[in-house]
Structure 1
Amino acid sequence: MKKFFKIGCLGFIVLVAIIIVIAVASGGNDDSSKNTSSGGDSKQEAKKSSYTMGQEVKVGKMNYTVNDKSTADQVGPSSLPEKASQKFLVIDVKVKNNGNEAVMVDSSFFKLKRGGKTYEADAAASLSANQGEDGNITNSFMAQDLNPDSEMSGKVVFDVTPEIAEATDLQLQVQTGAFGTETELINLK
């Protein structure tokens, strides 16, 4: 009986540890404003946004402005370009930190949305897109600290199908930090 009890307790502890790890990995919050998929053929409505390119959007203590968008087959210096597997959608963004502490900005702060689908930024292409012909990288949105009252501009790149890259109903989701506790959408028209 003692052996069974020890194994049962150990199993319970492992189960609790797994639940905690899953909760931490998912950000530990239930954000009902996020679109979730239940699978099947259900169509999801896109969250409406009144923000457009050129407008400054406040998300928590961060401000975002989408300056421009373009498409490309490759990005980066001509000596060592990063080539798209499909088509690159390149978004030029300005970020400002209005908080009291530095924030580590990363390409994962940006997600491309279309309907109920979410597209992740291509970190390697984003890094390359912010690299000059001389090899210097500026404002790469690659785990770069942004101090209070400071701003940076750079390019975020998504490798998507040509149809998606040319779509007129795309939105850029921006967020406050690594876990995206606060998000906002910007229409890319």
Structure 2
Amino acid sequence: MKKFFKFGCLGIIGIVVLFVVIAIATGGNEETVSTGGTGNKSTESSKQESGTKKVDASEQTTDAVGLKIALGEMKVTKDKIQVGINVENTSSKTVSFYPDQGSAVVGDMQLDANLFLTDGQIGGDVNAGVKQDGVIEFLAPDGKSIDVENIKEVKLLLGDVTPDDFSTSKAVEFTVPVK
């Protein structure tokens, strides 16, 4: 019984380690969506994959309660939309902003951001003078897919920016045309 238990535990540990090694080896962020931040340029060639559209959304900017918010690149595939974003708190107050909990609307479909697939440091409490950038992933609902070829625009609803004293707040929304 001791031998069985010893080899059983070692076998389970070995399988877990094997899965971790495989996940690390095959995982990683192969996506190269630019956030538009300083020194953050896309390394992907301009040639697009079939069923993929890449949009330069760097003209899309806004200021909400002293937080400058700018988009970078946006990549649309049949199962997700990736949006590069950068923020800079130009106010003297800490502000709260959670774009990685926002949503995107394509036609009559809403895609919710996946908090765990967000790449980079973006959102939360942003202290005065701090710059952040990252890539937010909006996933298509189960069983649905995005019609990449016929998409005309993506509406991004990224939530409110609120200062630490809760005196005001402003919703952040972008409508990005897709050509």
Please report the TM-score for the alignment, with normalisation by the length of structure 2.
0.50
- What SS class does the counterpart of residue 156 from structure 2 fall into? strand
Consecutive unaligned residues in structure 1, runs of 5 or more: 1-51, 73-85, 131-137
1:159 CA drift (Å): 0.7
Consecutive unaligned residues in structure 2, runs of 5 or more: 1-55
1:122 CA drift (Å): 1.1
The list of structure 1 runs, each at least 4 consecutive aligned residues, that deviate by more than 6 angstroms after superposition, is none
1:106 CA drift (Å): 2.5
1:139 CA drift (Å): 1.0
The aligned counterpart of 1:62 is 67
Distance 1:112 1:125 in 2: 15
- What SS class does the counterpart of residue 153 from structure 2 fall into? coil
Counterparts of 1:136-147 in structure 2 under 5 Å? 138-141=120-123, 143=124, 145-147=125-127
1:163 CA drift (Å): 1.6
Distance 1:171 1:119 in 2: 10
CA deviation digits over 1:143-178, x for unaligned, max 9? 3x3211221110111111432566232121234336
Q: Which amino acid aligns with 1:60?
A: V
1:184 CA drift (Å): 3.0
Match of 1:104 among 96, 110, 119: 96
Does 1:186 find its partner at 2:175?
A: yes
- What SS class does the counterpart of residue 162 from structure 1 fall into? coil
CA deviation digits over 1:35-57, x for unaligned, max 9? xxxxxxxxxxxxxxxxx821221
Please report the TM-score for the alignment, with normalisation by the length of structure 1.
0.48
Distance 1:115 1:87 in 2: 15
Q: 1:60 to 1:164 in 2, by over 3 A?
A: farther
1:124 CA drift (Å): 1.5
CA RMSD of aligned residues (A): 3.1
Equivalent residues of 1:62, 1:176 under 8 A apart: no
Percentage of matched positions with identical amino acids: 12
Q: 1:175 to 1:97 in 2, by over 3 A?
A: farther
Equivalent residues of 1:92, 1:155 under 8 A apart: yes
The aligned counterpart of 1:153 is 133
Q: Which amino acid aligns with 1:172?
A: L
